[in-house]
Amino acid sequence: MKKRLVYIDYYRMIIILLMMQGHTLRALLRRDLKTGIWFKIHEYIHGAVAPGFLFLSGFLFFYTLKKKIKIS
């Protein structure tokens, strides 16, 4: 049985929840509420989701490659 990296699962869960929350908030929030400071903070956090996915993909690619070719 392969050993799972639990922190990767938690990271993935957080990123997925932030993605769902961000898209839902953008779709359902009234237009007048999209001008406040809280929405700008939300947009900043939501903007970090896609790079988070890319970082995770690169990390997992390297982790898998390292195990296959025994990089030290």
* Residue pLDDT, tens place only, 10-52: 999 999 999 999 999 999 999 998 888 999 999 999 999 999 9
- Is there a domain that residue 69 lies in? no
| Tokens 């903070």 -> residue | 41
- Is there a domain that residue 67 lies in? no
Choose between 55 and 2: higher pLDDT: 55
- Is there a domain that residue 71 lies in? no
- Grade residue 3 by pLDDT with cuts at 50, 70 and 90: confident
The span from the CA of 52 to the CA of 14, in Å, is 10
- Is there a domain that residue 33 lies in? yes
- Is there a domain that residue 35 lies in? yes
Mention every residue, 6+ apart, whose C-beta is less than 8 A from residue 12. Answer: 56
Domain tally, the chain? 1
> What percentage of the chain has pLDDT greater than the value 70?
96
Question: What's the pLDDT at 64?
Answer: 83
